[in-house]
Structures are given as C-alpha cells and as structure tokens.
Structure 1
Amino acid sequence: MEKEVDDLRTALELLKSIPGQLIETDIEVDPHAELSGVYRHIGAGGTVMRPTKEGPAMVFNNLKGFNNSRVAIGLLASRKRVGMLLNADPKRLGYHLMNSVNNPLPPILIENQSAKCQEVVHYADEPGFDIRKLVPAPTNTEEDAGPYITMGMCYASDPENGDSDITIHRLCLQSKDEITMFFTPGARHLGVFREKAEALGKPLPISISIGVDPAIEIAACFEPPTTPIGFNELQIAGALRQKPVELTKCLTINEKCIANAEYVIEGELLPNLRVREDQNTNTGKAMPEFPGYTGEAKEVPVIKVKAVTHRVNPIMQSCIGPSEEHVSMAGIPTEASVIQMIERAMPGRLLNVYAPPCGGGKYVVIIQFRKNLPSDEGRQRQAALLAFSAFSELKHVFLVDEDVDLFDMSDVMWAMTTRFQGNEDAILIPGVRCHPLDPSSSPAFSSSIRDAGISCKAIFDCTVPYDQKQNFIRAKFMDIDEEKWTEYIK
C-alpha cells in the first residue's frame, strides 16, 4: 500500500522505504557552509558548480551549535523522487500539476490545540530569545550574507480585500528578532500585498512555515498568469493530495500558518525600512541563486519576528539555491503553466514540456510538438510564443519533434545539430523583460540591453519541416521482449 504523505515526516518515511532515496548521518556537520558543501557531492545537481550529481535526499542529525535539531535537504532534488512524493509519473508531472490548477481545493482552518506546529512556543519578548539559536538555517557558502531560510513558505494577505497567498523567498537571519526578505521586482503576489500595506503606513503580518508537505512546496512556486493575484496556491496542494491543506491561526499576529509545519516564524514586514542583506558580513553577496551565480546583496525589507513555534524535535528543511531541488520546485509549475496555455490555444499538438536543469526551472523549456497536417507548419513557433506568455521569466525555448526525448539534453542537442540552421531556425525577440538574476541581462554585458533584467528571448526551432519528414527518419532498431532481458535492462 502506498504510504500517505501529508507533511515532511511522512515524506521522509516514504523515501526511507525506497532504496537509494534517503540517507542519514550522525556525523557532526557545521551548518555554516559545510552542510551544503557535503550535499553538493551527494545529490545537489542543477546548476551547482561541478563536481555535483543527482542523488538521494539527506538528513543531518548532528548539527554543530544546535541540540536536538536536524536538517533535511534534497527532498525534491530529483524529478523521479518528486514523482514518488506526488504519486505521479515523473514524465507527466507538468500535466499532473495542470490538472490540480484546474481543480483547486481550498485550505481549511483547524483549532490551535490540534496544530502540531505549535507544540513548542517561543515568544520574542521572552528573555534570551534569539531566532539564530532556535532555527538552524544553514548557509550555502562561506560568502553568504548570513544564515538563509531557503524553504520557507511565506503566507500573507491582501490588506485591502483579505485574499491570501503563499510564496517562497530568500530570507536572511539578521539579528535575534529580524529577518530580511528579498522580492523579485513585480513577480510575486506577496510583493503586491507588501506595497499596499506600506502605502497605508502599516506593517504586513506574515508567517513563514518551514518543513511541510512537498506538495505545498511545489504549489507555492506557481506564478501569474496561471495563478493570478487572488488565487491561493494552497488550493493546488489540496488538489494534489485530494485533501485540503490545514491552516491554523498564528499566536501573535493576525495571520494563518501551515498547521503541521516543523517550524513557524510569526512576524510583521515593517513599512519604509530597508537594510542591506550583508550588513553583518559586508561580503557584497547574498546567497547562490538558481542560475548558478551568487546573488548580489540588496537593500531589502525587514520582518520583525514576534514568535517562533515548532514541533517537538523539529526538522529544519533547506535547499542549495542552484540545485536540482530548485529546478523541481520552479520548473514543474513552469511546465504546467506552458502546457495549460498551449493546450487552450491549439489542443492536440503538444506532446510534452520540460524545464531542464540548465535553465534552473525558469529560463529554458523544451517543447515537444507534433505536426499532424501541412497546415501545422509554423504552429510550433506559435506554441513557443505562447510559452513566453505563460511564463514571463523564460529566456529560451527549444522546439523538438515527437521522436526526440525532451528529457535527454543530448538528444535535444542532437536535434539541434541535425535539424536546425542558425540563420533560418533561430527566432530572436530582443528587449523583453525576463529576470534580474541572469547576469547577462545587464547593460554592462551588452549595449543593446536598456535595463537590468531585460533579455533577448530566443526560440530554437529544432523541428523538421512537415514536407521534409521523410528525410529525417531515425534508424529503427528491433523491438525486443524486455521481460526476457529485464536482468540487463535497468
């Protein structure tokens, strides 16, 4: 019988029951850089500097400087493992998420006494309170601005109409009761909520839930237009589990949090206050981000912490910024968004979409498209344009035929080598807003770029023209009885 997953602990139990998917260690590890340095070699993958690889999730049971605290990392750092955790085919995860977007199931509120996240409570006005000693947030590198919460589910509400939303942001522990919060300009609903509250001169109540059901972590990464403002992504997580996400009221602020989280931080985003992320280190750097480079320290808003609550013997959850874990969290919702947009416009031609590790889940997608009729020629490029509309942060779209394995970048590059001519099949769209964390999207990189975050988007059409299909048939091999050779075919 399939184990039911509804929080971090049941997710770890499921992985522990599957050979090769989870390892634990009791060796003491320093959360300052060493923990991430170790996991880089175990299973980080993604755009992390080589050597790295895709591997099992890992739990560190012995953290230097912390008693009775553990850190889990890499739960989503494998597409195959995401499939296990969501009970879905890894190659159809984009469709699986799209179906959940189309069939949302709203969260429900439970009483505080039933909320596991509030088994232990620490109030910020108590003597000795220090979030840096309560929450074992690692640093990714020795240059990081400070300890970062990388898997915090940030939950807040629109001060005008009460609509709520959940997103993931980089959160740096700055002092005993202050956390900085980075917002990508114009890309998150919580940014709109913060701006509205600031215009009113009011703080914005916010909860940060850490260590939750992986379905919530995936759902929290959807963006407009797939989930417009007012759409609470917890509805997607509910649909994925066919069971509503349970929330409970925070103890010190007028907001809700995820009831079975391992940790919850309660606080307020303060209006009209900005500090530099690296105010304690002066490195000029924040932390490694999904493109594979370390982000520049920014002037960012401040959360004043009111309380920390947690389960008994809590498990901190973290990820390496450029790892395969980010690819899964950002990339699979990207795929779902692109699939939904293309299917609405031209049903029946799209076969699949993949956001590969090289794009960090945001910058690149591979679209597998089938041309059924002569009149379908050119529609593949329309599909690429629709992808840019579905997810504004996309930079490159590769188009491939039905005989190409879009999950194998070597096969995609083979298609580009044998079915692509640069002067004919590269479609360039300059001067379009993309994402500010791409270091090449800068006026310093190219005089053609007017502002940081503007890119030349590109379509690489690696499909065979419909009237040339007969000249591009791959060598056919015998179909064998795989059961006969199952000992060798793995």
Structure 2
Amino acid sequence: MVDDLRSAIECLKQYEGEYIETDVAVDPHAQLAGVYRHIGAGGTVKRPTKEGPAMMFNRINGHPDAKVLIGLLSSRKRVGVLLDEKPERLGFLLNDAIKRKQPPVKVGKEKAKCQEVVHLASNPDFDIRKLVPAPTNTQEDAGPYITLGMCYATNPITKESDITIHRLCLQSKDEITMFFTPGVRHLDVFREIAEKENRALPISISIGVDPAIEIAACFEPPTTPLGFNELEIAGGIRNKPVELAKCVSVDEYAIANAEYVIEGELLPNVRMREDLNSNTGKAMPEFPGYTGPANPALPVIKVKAVTHRKNPIMQTCIGPSEEHVSMAGIPTEASILSMVEEAMPGKLLNVYCATPGGGKFVAILQFKKSIPSDEGRQRQAALLAFSAFSELKHIYIVDEDVDIFDMNDVMWAMTTRFQGDIDIITIPGVRCHPLDPSNDSAYSPSIKDHGIACKTIFDCTVPFHLKDRFIRAKFMDVDATKWVPDEK
C-alpha cells in the first residue's frame, strides 16, 4: 500500500528497471540534473535523453544527512504502478477518484512524521539553503529550486484550503520567491486577498509525499474550481483521506508524512527579483524545454521553520522532463474525458496529453464515429477541450484504431488521413501560455500580446462515409512468448 514517498520507493523496488541508486557523491548544483538527463529525464529535455528509472542519489555534496530522489513520475508506466492502474487508463482512474473524493483529516503531533526533526528560523544558525538540498537544473538557474513542493494555504475569507505546485527559488537563509502563472492559481487569489488587508498569508510547502498527492495537486478549473481542495482527489485515489498535521510555527497545516515541510508566510507588498543571486536573467528550465526568464518582482515567503523526517529524502524533478508530462497531463486528460463524455456520451474513447507539449500544450483525442451524424462531432470535442483549458495549443484527433500513446501511430494517421487544406482548423488570437516563446508579437504580428496563440485542431480522422477504404491491414493475433519466452 503506497501512502508516502518511502512506501512508493519500496513499491518500485519490486519492478525491474524502475528504480536505481548511486553512492557516488554528486553536486546538487547542475551536476545532479546533468546526470539524470542521461538516465531517465525524457520529456522535452534536449537530446540526448531518454525515459528511464527513478534515481536516488545517496551522497549529496554539502548535505551529509540527506538523499535526493529524482524522476519518480518520469514514466507513465511508473505512474500506473504507483497508482495501481494501467497506464492508458490513468485518466479514467482520476475521474473515478473525483467521484469518490475524500476530504483530508487532521491528525495529532504523534502522527506527524514530518516533524521528527524541527529547525526554527529564530535560531541564529538557521539557513534553509543548508537544511534543504534543493538542486539547480542548470548552471544558469537563478538559484536552488524546490520543484516538487506541495504548497498549501487557506482563503482568509472563506477558510477553504487548496494545494498547488509552484516554482520556488531559495534566495537567502529564510526567504523564498514564489512564481504564480498569471490568472490560473488559486493560492495567488488567497495571497491577493490577504495582501489587500496588508496581512501575511501562512503557507506550508510539503516535499516528498505520496505520488497520488502530486498528481492530484495538478488539477485545474473547471474540474477543480476556486474552493476545491485537490487533496480530496488524492483521498479518492487511495480510498483513504490524506492526513494533515498542524505546523509548528504558522497557522496552517502540512502533509503529515512528508519528508520535508517548509513553513512560512507570504509577505504582503514585498517583491524580490528572481535572479537576485545569479544575475543571469534566467529562472530555470520549464516544461516547454526552454529556460524561463527570471521574473523581476515575485512575491516572497518568509520562512519560519523547516521540519523533516529522520534521514530525510529530498524529491526533485527536471522542469522539462517526462515527470512534468505525467503530473500536468494526466489530470487534464481526466478533465477532458469527463467534459466531453457529458456532452456526447461514448464518443471520446481516450485522451493523451502528449510529451511534446509537456503535458499542457498538446492533446491527442481518440474519437469514435459510429453513425453518419457523428461526422463533425470530433471537432466539437476539440472545441470543448479548448474552451476549458486555456493552456492547450494543439489538438490532434484520431480514430479508434490509432494508438494515441504512440506518436509514430499518431503521425501515421496525420500522414494518411489528413489533408492540410481541409483538416486544419485555426483559432487565432486566443489566450494560451506565457512560457511558449512563440506566443509573442515578435514571432508573429498577428499576436497582440505575449501569451496569446493561434490554437489549432488537426483532424486526422477518416470521414465517416470513407471508413471502409481506411481499414488497417489485419495481422494474426498470437502470443509471441511461445516463440520468444522473454517477449512481453
């Protein structure tokens, strides 16, 4: 039963090729990510890279008592193992979890494994950079980044809580800058409410948790509107509520069995330049595969305490890796499936938010046309997905005989079932994502503002009246292990 990071690791150890360790010392500054880039990062990382096992670094320079785990979710197959579901059915699993959601529960200090060791910022020797072995992805990064911190805060007015993942840069011994994607993060709403009243917003950052929490935290509206606590979905995945422990220094809660918890307050009306210590003009590599620019003025968390388990494990990821595809893409798949099923039951068979889009920019829709009047509904399904998820840029629609998880098969469909003059539908001038560098007026004069894009549907489905002319060659279905026993 997986219910925290350590049980997740023990689970993976049962599967060949899913987990490895090294006792060779590594520098967390760029070197650790540089190693894993070759071992298992995948995603939109610059080649050479590949999809590979999760990796534990047992010796971290400058941090003799800590380990760093990277790539836990950088394989869809591995996510399936950890969530006990077939990889191609993960979107359906999350939809079921929403239906059986369970609110988190608060537990006493005796169950707060995350507080086995406590470091208070009031101690003159306190320095978060020495306590938390946060790596940099590249030598250009603005500083050490927490890339898998589950940020938890509460609406000052409604008292509703929410959890999300943000870009967090360690700036000093007790200060962290926090990046909010404009207009889409609920914690930013909470921060603005507190800031208008000139109040600090208590916040906890839990690192190293049950992977079900990491996946659930990446849901977005409309599935999880303002006021929806995504921890309820994690509870639905596991069929048991997530346990929260009261923080030791601020009025907030944290994941009780997290490896690390950083406690602090988002300060009102305080901003800090992201690359204050590096002056590179760069932040860190983001999911599209490019290094994002450093933000000139970000909100600041004043750290009050760091707590952790004995012999803690720091968990991190490479920004453009397959890990981001898993965390961002699978919840979006679930939401699209649910929305289209409600509008046209039984037509959308599956969805894959593919690796080239980092889990956000590209979706493959597998659509079944059963009767003549289904023609055109495939494009309606794509429009529904666009209307709900502003960050989607390209949608490819394929028939039921195409494997949406195999991009070669998708490109085959685009080659043999697609004509550019009739099967491309463009929707210019729509808000998309600021981290796509092509979404800028410098790229095209048709773009009025940074972050606006031309959204495009690529309809790679066979017209219904021609389906009998596009039947794939039928091969004998046999069990090859009779001839090749090791074949799986």
Q: Smaller-chain TM-score range? A: over 0.9
Separation of aligned partners in 1, 2:248 and 2:387: 41
Separation of aligned partners in 1, 2:261 and 2:479: 53
Deviations 1:390-445 (A, max 9, x none): 32210000000011111100110010011111110000000111111000011111
Deviation at 1:101, TM superposition (A): 1.5
Deviation at 1:484, TM superposition (A): 2.6
Contact 1:226 1:390 survives alignment (8 Å): no
Deviations 1:26-56 (A, max 9, x none): 0000000000000000000000000000000
Counterpart residue identity of residue 51, structure 2: E
* Displaced runs of 4 or more, over 6 A: none
Contact 1:166 1:232 survives alignment (8 Å): yes
Deviation at 1:488, TM superposition (A): 5.5
TM-score, length of structure 1 as denominator length: 0.98
Alignment of 1:97-246 (within 5 A): 97-246=94-243
Deviation at 1:475, TM superposition (A): 1.1
RMSD: 0.8
Which residue pairs with 1:426 in the alignment? 424
Alignment of 1:407-446 (within 5 A): 407-446=405-444
Counterpart residue identity of residue 254, structure 2: C
> What is the DSSP-based 3-state SS (H/G/I as helix, E as strand, rest coil) of the residue aligned with 1:412?
helix
Separation of aligned partners in 1, 2:98 and 2:44: 28
Structure 2: unaligned runs, 5 residues or longer: none
Counterpart residue identity of residue 421, structure 2: N
Which residue of 4, 16, 39 corresponds with 1:19? 16
Which residue pairs with 1:293 in the alignment? 290
Separation of aligned partners in 2, 1:79 and 1:471: 34
Within the alignment, does 1:5 sit opposite 2:7 as a pair? Answer: no
> What is the DSSP-based 3-state SS (H/G/I as helix, E as strand, rest coil) of the residue aligned with 2:180?
coil
Deviations 1:163-200 (A, max 9, x none): 00000001000000000000000111101111111111
Separation of aligned partners in 2, 1:327 and 1:192: 25
Counterpart residue identity of residue 54, structure 1: E
Percent of residue pairs bearing the same amino acid type: 72
> What is the DSSP-based 3-state SS (H/G/I as helix, E as strand, rest coil) of the residue aligned with 1:330?
helix
Counterpart residue identity of residue 64, structure 1: N
Which residue of 17, 41, 45 corresponds with 1:44? 41
Within the alignment, does 1:70 sit opposite 2:67 as a pair? Answer: yes
Which residue of 258, 274, 277 corresponds with 1:261? 258
Within the alignment, does 1:352 sit opposite 2:350 as a pair? Answer: yes
Deviation at 1:486, TM superposition (A): 5.2
Contact 1:366 1:399 survives alignment (8 Å): yes
Contact 1:262 1:311 survives alignment (8 Å): yes
Counterpart residue identity of residue 223, structure 2: T
Deviations 1:217-272 (A, max 9, x none): 00000001110010000000000000100001111111100000000000000111
Counterpart residue identity of residue 384, structure 1: A
Contact 1:197 1:203 survives alignment (8 Å): yes
Deviation at 1:204, TM superposition (A): 0.6
Q: How many residues align?
A: 487
Deviation at 1:369, TM superposition (A): 0.3
Contact 1:395 1:458 survives alignment (8 Å): yes
> What is the DSSP-based 3-state SS (H/G/I as helix, E as strand, rest coil) of the residue aligned with 1:44?
coil
Within the alignment, does 1:468 sit opposite 2:452 as a pair? Answer: no
Structure 1: unaligned runs, 5 residues or longer: none
Within the alignment, does 1:318 sit opposite 2:316 as a pair? Answer: yes
Which residue of 400, 403, 411 corresponds with 1:402? 400
> What is the DSSP-based 3-state SS (H/G/I as helix, E as strand, rest coil) of the residue aligned with 1:19?
coil
Separation of aligned partners in 2, 1:404 and 1:279: 49
TM-score, length of structure 2 as denominator length: 0.99
- Between 1:374-383 and 1:441-450, the stretch displaced more is 441-450
Counterpart residue identity of residue 126, structure 2: F
Counterpart residue identity of residue 144, structure 1: D
Which residue pairs with 2:388 in the alignment? 390
Deviation at 1:138, TM superposition (A): 0.2
> What is the DSSP-based 3-state SS (H/G/I as helix, E as strand, rest coil) of the residue aligned with 1:331?
helix
Separation of aligned partners in 2, 1:113 and 1:253: 18
Deviation at 1:483, TM superposition (A): 5.0
Contact 1:207 1:257 survives alignment (8 Å): yes
Counterpart residue identity of residue 368, structure 1: Q
Separation of aligned partners in 1, 2:96 and 2:435: 30
Separation of aligned partners in 2, 1:16 and 1:480: 31
Separation of aligned partners in 2, 1:388 and 1:100: 23
Separation of aligned partners in 1, 2:112 and 2:400: 48
Which residue pairs with 1:365 in the alignment? 363
Which residue of 255, 264, 267 corresponds with 1:270? 267
Within the alignment, does 1:86 sit opposite 2:86 as a pair? Answer: no
Separation of aligned partners in 1, 2:12 and 2:465: 48
Contact 1:337 1:390 survives alignment (8 Å): no
Separation of aligned partners in 2, 1:483 and 1:423: 45
> What is the DSSP-based 3-state SS (H/G/I as helix, E as strand, rest coil) of the residue aligned with 1:35?
helix
Separation of aligned partners in 1, 2:384 and 2:414: 21
